[in-house]
Amino acid sequence: VYLAHHAHLRRDVALKVSKLAYSDAADVARFRQEVQLLTQLDLPSVVRIFDSGIDDGHLYFTMPVLSGGTLRSRMADYRDPWSAAALMVKIARAVHALHEHPLRVLHLDLKPENILFDHHGTPHISDFGIATVASSNGWGKSTRGIGGPAYVAPEQAFIDQGELTPATDVYSLGAILYELLTGSPPHTGKTLDGVLRRVALEEPVPPRR
């Protein structure tokens, strides 16, 4: 992510560019789908996109400069339970707005790295790369991969293992709050598969312990 000046908009913007050049049609389709989704949401709690494109095989889009950093970089600011709860209320309301939007969006990748703060300290949700919208039959099952393994719900931990619902995002919110209060996510492990199996099969250690 680069700090850039947008000549047409006459303002500084954050320019997000893919690290690798993509030639795979599926990657490009997912990118375009994410951009299209974000332009339709237009919610104050969701990171907006100004414009997007592909240059020399690299995918890019521009968004507002959110100078307050990520929740990952500010975890220590919310160790107090009341501060953590107050922050999570704001994030939960933002997620609720996604679920109640006419598109009925599930984010599916809520984690501290995807919560960005503006200069006022207001949190915004970013990175909709694996988000999904509801059809007439609901959101279906997990088939598009996972987000941060320590924050995914059990029904999202393994492909085609359970129906996705708003509760899938709510679980991720709970995992973030758990880490704010304890300093560690509910489940950890040395391998991706190990973390996912613990998510699917084990209860987390009670926070008081």
What length is written for the chain? Answer: 209
Q: Which of 51, 55, 80, 109 is catalytic?
A: 109
Cα torsion 41, 21, 143, 184 to 10°: value is: -80
CA dist., res. 126 & res. 48, Å (int): 9
CA dist., res. 133 & res. 104, Å (int): 6
Angle at Cα 6 formed by Cα 10 and Cα 94, nearest 5°?
Answer: 95
- Torsion sign, CA atoms 160, 166, 170, 172: positive
Task: Detail the DSSP E strand segments found in 9-148.
Answer: 11-17, 51-55, 58-63, 105-106, 115-117, 123-125, 132-133
The single-letter code of the amino acid at 114 is N
| Count of Cβ atoms closer than 10 Å to residue 93 Cβ | 11
- 77 labelled catalytic: no
CA dist., res. 105 & res. 43, Å (int): 12
CA dist., res. 83 & res. 175, Å (int): 16
Active-site residues: which are they? 109
